[in-house]
């Protein structure tokens, strides 16, 4: 009896007392904002990077830009995301007044872009040169070829890898607490420090992460099925 | 149509084409034959602007081939068809003429349907390439190349990836296309076809043109040992 009492007591202390559930909601909100905006930055910038590299491969133009992109991907992939976050926060934006959440969004967006660009690049490679060559002899420009022929196919083949990247990104935002962003994990940490109990806050955070990654997996499956259907 | 002077193509240190000279007149049907690795396909790809010459010059209609703006004037048909996998047959055929503003959508679709009817694939206009047989794919690829009204069509081993019974339908279509008077340059291993089809045959070996002339001259009276040996097989 006392065991259940204790659990009920803990639950009360963790969520109800002083409206502590608001910490979790706030943390979840920040986690989702960072992840969502970072995904958008990642896709757009990743696409630009992969296009620059592929255009360079096809035409030998844009040499300097390509070198910069290569270097960028090298740096991002070669260093931990927490370190990138700290450099952006403590070095780059040190003397600039910028919302801390924005630093998080930028870091994870810039980080994801490097990985997404590699995913897209390998997707383009997997399609081979044949269709590109056919498009060229038909008078289609590079960008027309990409837009109407290559990208629709790349999207389908890279969807699983892209889904993985989004899941990784969502989980990685948990390090944002390190520079003081109150995301989900940080929120549960704050609550723990009030209640001196780690069990409930941590387990609940884990369940919330699991729920959203599960949603992502389902969403990706749905998209995959839809795209496969189009091809018939 | 084409004027090729001292064309050299190297891949790294390997010299694939060794100073090729070639003149192609309007309306000619040229068949290039030769053993694997002789440079036939590379020569064709240079003519199709898919490879850049290492040195030498290619003129197309009296202009440097690297400077022509209307790239659709040189059509090309590939061994592996290279249909756009994400598009239907009709979209495959009409995409380029519509997007390059060569014709409006209605005209393009009408023209495409006419062609599809001629090759008896009008019931496949909404099928995807994955649903077609190899022979059907190649026939679609040929009319796709015709859609932009090219001045020349280059065929890079158009039947090498096909089963015996499908080769015929593709070769028949090529003969049909030839009747329009368009210039055609074909790389193939189908020697019977070459004999009946070509106005001129070119025999290549080791990056050079060893012999060229009418099918009768080359097949009945080969001059070089290499060609004699090649024809024996």
CATH of the domain at B40: 3.40.50.300
Sequential pLDDT tens for chain A (232 residues)? 677 888 888 888 877 877 888 888 999 999 999 999 999 999 999 999 999 999 999 888 999 999 999 999 999 999 999 999 999 999 999 888 899 999 999 999 999 999 999 999 999 998 889 999 999 999 999 999 999 999 999 988 888 888 999 999 999 999 999 999 999 999 999 988 888 888 888 999 999 999 999 999 999 999 888 877 655 4
**Which CATH topology does A2-231 take?**
MetI-like fold (1.10.3720)
Asked if B72 and A135 come within 8 Å (Cβ–Cβ), the reply is no
For the record, the structure tokens of A229 come out as: 């259907």
Encode pLDDT of A5-59 as tens digits.
888 888 888 778 778 888 889 999 999 999 999 999 999 999 999 999 999 998 8
Count residue pairs from A and B with Cβ separation < 8 A.
71
Q: Where are the domains of chain A?
A: 2-231
Distances from the Cα of B103 to the Cα of A170, B107, B112, angstroms: 48, 6, 12
Nearest Cα of chain B lies from the Cα of A221 at a distance, in angstroms, of 19
Q: What is the residue whose two structure tokens read 């992939």? A: A77
Shortest CA distance from B79: residue in chain A: A130
Give the mean model confidence (pLDDT) for residues B138-160.
94
Residue B40 lies in a domain: yes
**Burial, B33: exposed, middle or buried (Cβ in 10 Å; 0-12, 13-18, 19+)?**
buried
User: Does B121 map to a domain?
Assistant: no
State which residues form the domain around B192. 2-86+149-232
Q: Choosing among A131, A132, A138, which should be mutated to test the B contact, i.e. which has the most B CBs within 10 A? A: A138
* Mean pLDDT of the B175-181 span: 93
CA–CA dist A181, A214 (Å, integer): 24
pLDDT value of residue A104: 96
Report the candidate in A132, A168, A163, A173 with the shortest Cα–Cα distance to residue A150.
A132
H helix intervals, A19-99 = 21-59, 63-78, 81-86
B95 within a domain of the structure (yes/no): no
Lowest mean pLDDT among A173-187, A189-203, B96-110, B183-197: A189-203
pLDDT in tens, B29-87: 999 999 998 999 999 999 999 999 999 999 999 889 988 877 789 999 999 999 999 99
Q: What is the DSSP letter of B158?
A: T
Q: A124: distance to nearest CA of chain B, Å?
A: 14
Q: What is the dihedral of CA A208, A209, A212, A215, to 10 degrees?
A: -110
CB contact under 8 A, A139 and B80: no
**Does residue B113 register a pLDDT over 50?**
yes
Residues 6+ apart with CB under 8 A from A56: A62, A63, A65, A66
Put simply, the chain A residues between 118 and 157 with a CB less than 8 A from any chain B CB are 130-131, 133-140, 144, 148-149, 152-153, 156
Domain count, chain B: 1
Q: How far is B127 from chain A (nearest CA, A)?
A: 9
Structure tokens at A168: 């990784």
Token digits of residue A44 = 């757009």
- Is B96 domain-assigned? no
Strand order in the sheet with B183-187: B74-77, B152-156, B183-187, B29-33, B200-205, B208-213
Residues of chain B contacting A, Cβ within 8 Å: 48-50, 70-72, 74-76, 78, 80, 82-87, 95-96, 99-100, 102, 128, 130-131, 141, 144-145, 148
Compute and round to an integer the Cα radius of gyration of chain B. Answer: 18
Amino acid A155: pLDDT? 86
Q: In what order do the strands lie in the sheet with B63-64?
A: B14-24, B2-11, B55-60, B63-64
Cβ contact (<8 Å) for B84 and A138?
no
A50 φ, ψ (degrees, to nearest 5): -65, -35
Q: Which residue intervals of chain B are DSSP H helices?
A: 40-47, 89-99, 105-118, 134-147, 164-178, 191-197, 215-220, 225-232
């Amino acid at each position: 009896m006392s065991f259940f009492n204790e659990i009920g007591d803990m639950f009360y202390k963790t969520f109800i007392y002083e409206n502590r559930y608001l910490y979790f909601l706030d943390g979840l909100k920040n986690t989702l904002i960072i992840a969502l905006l970072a995904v958008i930055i990642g896709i757009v910038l990743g696409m630009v990077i992969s296009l620059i590299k592929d255009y360079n491969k096809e035409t030998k133009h844009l040499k300097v830009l390509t070198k910069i992109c290569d270097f960028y991907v090298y740096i991002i992939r070669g260093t931990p995301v927490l370190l990138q976050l700290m450099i952006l926060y403590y070095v780059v934006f040190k003397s600039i007044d910028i919302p801390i959440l924005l630093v998080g969004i930028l870091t994870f967006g810039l980080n994801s872009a490097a990985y997404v660009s590699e995913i897209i690049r390998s997707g383009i490679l997997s399609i081979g040169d044949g269709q590109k060559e056919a498009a060229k002899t038909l008078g289609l420009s590079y960008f027309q070829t990409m837009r109407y022929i290559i990208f629709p196919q790349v999207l389908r083949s890279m969807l699983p890898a892209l889904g993985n990247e989004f899941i990784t990104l969502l989980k990685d935002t948990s390090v944002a607490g390190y520079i003081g962003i109150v995301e989900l994990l940080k929120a549960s940490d704050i609550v723990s420090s009030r209640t001196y109990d780690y069990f409930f806050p941590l387990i609940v955070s884990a369940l919330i992460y699991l729920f959203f990654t599960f949603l992502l997996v389902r969403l990706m499956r749905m998209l995959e099925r839809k795209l496969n259907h189009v091809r018939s | 149509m084409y004027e090729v002077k001292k064309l050299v193509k190297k891949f790294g240190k390997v010299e694939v084409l060794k100073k090729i000279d070639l003149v192609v007149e309007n309306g000619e049907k040229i068949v290039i034959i030769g053993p694997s690795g002789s440079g036939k396909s590379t020569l064709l790809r240079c003519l199709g602007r898919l490879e850049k010459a290492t040195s030498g010059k290619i003129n197309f209609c009296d202009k440097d081939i690297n400077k022509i703006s209307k790239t659709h004037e040189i059509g090309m048909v590939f061994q592996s068809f290279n249909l756009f996998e994400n598009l239907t047959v009709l979209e495959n055929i009409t995409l380029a003429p519509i997007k390059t503003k060569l014709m409006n959508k209605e005209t393009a679709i009408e023209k495409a349907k006419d062609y599809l009817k001629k090759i008896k694939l009008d019931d496949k206009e909404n099928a995807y390439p994955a649903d077609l047989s190899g022979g059907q794919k190649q026939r679609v690829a040929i009319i796709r190349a015709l859609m932009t009204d090219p001045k020349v069509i280059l065929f890079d081993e158009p039947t090498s990836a096909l089963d015996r019974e499908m080769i015929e339908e593709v070769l028949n279509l090529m003969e049909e296309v030839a009747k329009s008077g368009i210039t055609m340059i074909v790389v193939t291993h189908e020697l019977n076809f070459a004999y009946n089809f070509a106005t001129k045959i070119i025999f290549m070996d080791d990056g050079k043109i060893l012999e060229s002339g009418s099918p009768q001259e080359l097949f009945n009276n080969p001059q070089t040992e290499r060609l004699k040996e090649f024809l024996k097989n």
